[in-house]
Amino acid sequence: MLHKIKGTGVALVTPFNSDHSIDFNGLSKLVNHCINGNIDFLVVMGTTAESATLSLSEKQDVLEHVKKINNNRLPIVLGLGGNNTQSVINSFSQFQLDGLSAILSVSPAYNKPTQEGIYQHFRAISLASPLPIILYNVPSRTSSNMTAQTTLRLAHEFDNITAIKEASGDLEQIMTIIKNKPSSFSVLSGDDALTLPILFMGGSGVISVLAQGLPKEFSAMVQYGLEKNVTKANSLHYKLIDFVKPLFLEGNPAGIKSMLNTLDICQKEVRLPLVMTSNSIDEKIKKELVKLEAS
């Protein structure tokens, strides 16, 4: 299924009602918005989904709802990660994995393992996983970088570790992975702003936050990037880049939920300890949407 996990993926938010219950109607609208916008695959229960504040039953319900609305139209990736290796392994039996294409598993946060610890963590997950694995390196959230050497060690030793979502922001590190990876291993951008540079360096796609708000524009940019159509890709990149700062300035997914609220897809609601965006951020996002529509 590796050939399916490329291009533009979206890390879906979990829409909430005003009482902070899950807004399944908003989730349906979001999934269809992404599919109609030519997205290539969906990611359920990534960190953008506020998975840390969802109960197990809520996570199960969200996954089943997305599967139902998707109706086999796009590949689905499920986020299953954490800093307790055995708990991650145990979670494989807590979800209905039929119909899924891969697992997205973030490098352990907080305990700050050594590179050997990170390797052993993913080795254990690889040996237990019934699905292909996409590694996720995001040092800004985990306080621990998974080096290119560790990524390449895992990529070369385990056939079911098939990709990485790289959000280190270190282009030299990402180039090292792309240069030395197995031919079947995909490098996906984890930074919306760096997606196009990573594609031009040889990356295979992105798991994006912004793309669920602007799926047509973002997926078109990615496709042009994969085709190495520099002129068209750059044109879209520089139209989208102004969204990145306001989208993340007051936290993720608060920013993207502000955009989705403006687009009448779901409310701005987030669960504590996150809080909704300020009016100034809302206005900046609305302003950029007007500019994009006029361009």
Which pLDDT tens digit goes with each residue over 6-65?
Answer: 999 999 999 999 999 999 999 999 999 999 999 999 999 999 999 999 999 999 999 999
Q: Which ranges in the chain belong to alpha helices (H)?
A: 24-36, 56-70, 85-91, 115-128, 139-142, 148-157, 171-180, 195-201, 215-226, 230-248, 254-262, 279-294
Query: Residue 196 in contact with residue 225, Cβ under 8 Å?
Result: yes
Angle between helices 148-157 and 171-180 (to 10 degrees): 20
238 flagged as catalytic: no
- CA distances to 14, 114, 115, 190, 199 from 252, rounded to whole Å, are 12, 27, 27, 13, 23
Query: What per-residue confidence (pLDDT) applies to 295?
Result: 86
For residue range 217-232, what is the model confidence (pLDDT) as tens digits? 999 999 999 999 999 9
CA 54 remoteness from chain centre: 17
Q: Choosing from 29, 67, 119, 136, which is the catalytic residue?
A: 136
Which parts of the chain have pLDDT scores under 70?
A: 1-4
Question: Residue 2: its pLDDT value, please?
Answer: 43
pTM: 0.97
Contact 1, 182 (CB under 8 A): no
Rounded Cα gap, residues 25 and 265, in angstroms: 9
User: Cβ contacts of residue 250 below 8 Å, gap of 6+?
Assistant: 275, 277, 278, 281
Identify the active-site residue in 6, 165, 181, 268.
165
Domains of the chain: residue spans and CATH: 2-229 (3.20.20.70)
* Closest CA relative to residue 172, chosen from 193, 156, 194: 194
Torsion of the alpha carbons at 18, 20, 23 and 29, rounded to the nearest 10: 70
